[in-house]
Amino acid sequence: MRILSIETSCDETAISIVEVEGEFPTATYTVIGNALFSQVDIHKEYGGVFPAVAKREHVKTLVPMLKKALEEAELLETGSTDIDSEDTLRDILSREDGLADDLVTFLSSYTLPEIHLITVTNGPGLEPALWVGISFAKALAHILKCGVVPTNHMEGHILASLYDVEVDNGLAPISFPALALLVSGGHTELIFMRNWGTYEKIGETRDDAVGEAFDKVARLMGLPYPGGPEIGRRAAIARDTKLPPFPGKPLPRPMIQSGDLDFSYAGLKTAVRNLIGDKELTEDEKNALARDFEDAAIESLYAKTVKAIDHFMIRTLIIGGGVSANNFLRQTFTEGLLASHPDIEVYLPHRHLSTDNSVMIALAGHAQFTTARTAGAIAYITADGNRSL
């Protein structure tokens, strides 16, 4: 089966073409084309992601990404693609200003290869951004005469962490029960997995997500968006050079003693704001504060995760989402955790799959497609946009 997957939930525009052999969870997924455009430089100017700007950029970038993914997959051929009804195509894309023109122009110069299934992120994410991807998926399905599987972005992050780690191009054969710690710009969640495809949320942030806290704290320190990588880089310098703590009251570890599995990051951000006050920070102070913040943020994640591991007798920990690119987090949850829990298996994504991408949407879409099909009821969007069984 050949899948074309689309991701536009936030500030990455991504399209992959993936050849699948077998059934989830033992299938192999060979990525033959993978195109990704990060809008980071555009959003930098605004210090964060604005949904309307993200939508505009997705509209501009989807057709170029389609072309790039097909080229990489050696599936791009000149010619022209038959469109049954250009009116229907324009109708499907009517809310995405300019996208129909770009697609029609593209189709007048190239043919599309056979695609069996389109998978597209349908949430969670920024609504205007999500819609661009969904409409584009429906438009392509109209031309290719295939189905569309609406795909959950967070399931994508979970499966991305298991992909190509122990099995070449496959998902690691994990032991259950498993726990997923999802840490991204929009989410901080603990998900209990009794088996493949079952997800039960057992903890989440009560306010800001941990990635959002990295971004906001970076902004308070005058560092560029996205703040996570920059804070991580500076925190590592502070640890290497053994900088003393940032002067003032030590940062709190929010919720660490609470009886539940929830998180909170708004208070930590406010504590950083209060520490900075109206001071002009030196480079050393920025580095020290980055480390102190990172220590507090990761310690809260760690405490609740260990609590869930012990309570639910977890055998596998899966960490996914953009913040899983953080080196200190990786070290804490591997060397650190294995010291007290030597039997637990820990999975982290390859670095290029830790932040948003479309490979993970192929994996999660296929999981959804196969599990629903074996259960006898596959819900997917047909080319005319209706959900069908």
Contacts with ligand KG4 by CB under 6 A lie at 10, 184-186, 211-212, 214-215, 226-229, 232, 321-323, 325-326, 355-356
Among 178, 271, 356, 383, binds Zn ion (CB under 5 A): 356
**Pick from Zn ion, ligand KG4, none: which does 156 bind, CB < 5 to 8 A by kind?**
none
Reference 186, options 225, 160, 214; nearest CA is: 214
Which option in ligand KG4, Zn ion, none does residue 368 bind, with CB closer than 5 to 8 A by kind? none
Alpha-helical segments (H) within 4-98: 40-44, 51-72, 86-92
Q: Which is nearer to ligand KG4, 75 or 160 (CB)?
A: 160
Q: How far is the CB of 323 from ligand KG4 (least distance, A)?
A: 4
Nearer of residues 237 and 378 to ligand KG4, judged by Cβ: 237
Q: Which residue's structure tokens are 């399905």?
A: 141
Q: Among 13, 34, 151, 184, which residue sits at the site for Zn ion (rule: CB under 5 A)?
A: 184
Which of Zn ion, ligand KG4, none is residue 326 near (CB under 5 to 8 Å by kind)?
ligand KG4
- Write down the least CB distance from residue 322 to Zn ion, Å: 6
Between residues 190 and 344, which has the closer beta carbon with respect to Zn ion?
Answer: 190
Q: Of Zn ion, ligand KG4, none, which one sits near residue 215, judging by CB under 5 to 8 A according to partner kind? A: ligand KG4
Residue 227 interface partner, choices Zn ion, ligand KG4, none, CB cut-off 5-8 Å depending on type? ligand KG4
Helix (H) or strand (E) holding 387: strand 387-388
- Cα 214 from Cα 229, distance rounded (Å): 9
> With respect to ligand KG4, which residue has the nearer C-beta, 312 or 347?
347
We find the least distance from the C-beta atom of residue 56 to Zn ion, in angstroms, to be 20
- Picked from Zn ion, ligand KG4, none, the partner binding residue 328 (CB below 5 to 8 A depending on kind) is none
Provide the b/e sequence for 39-76 (b: ≥16 CB within 10 Å): beebbeeeebbeeebbbbbbbbbbbebbbbbbebbebb
The listed partner (Zn ion, ligand KG4, none) that binds 228, CB under 5 to 8 Å by sort, is ligand KG4
Q: Residue 94: count other Cβ atoms within 10 Å of its Cβ.
A: 11
| Eight-state DSSP code of residue 80 | -
Which amino acid is located at 283 in the chain?
Answer: E
Closest CB to ligand KG4 among residues 254, 322 = 322
Q: Which amino acid makes up residue 85?
A: S
Structure tokens, 246: 């940032």
For the chain, count helices (H), then strands (E): 13, 14
Pairwise CA distance, residues 88 & 338, whole Å: 56
Residue 180 bridge partners (DSSP):
191, 318
Shortest gap between Cβ of 307 and ligand KG4 (angstroms)? 22
Amino acid at 99: L
Rank residues 29 and 214 by Cβ distance to ligand KG4 and give the closer one: 214
> Closest distance between ligand KG4 and the C-beta of residue 129, in Å?
11
Place of tokens 């989402």: 321
Q: What is the DSSP string of 281-302?
A: PPHHHHHHHHHHHHHHHHHHHH
Q: Which residues bind to Zn ion, rule: CB under 5 A?
A: 184, 356
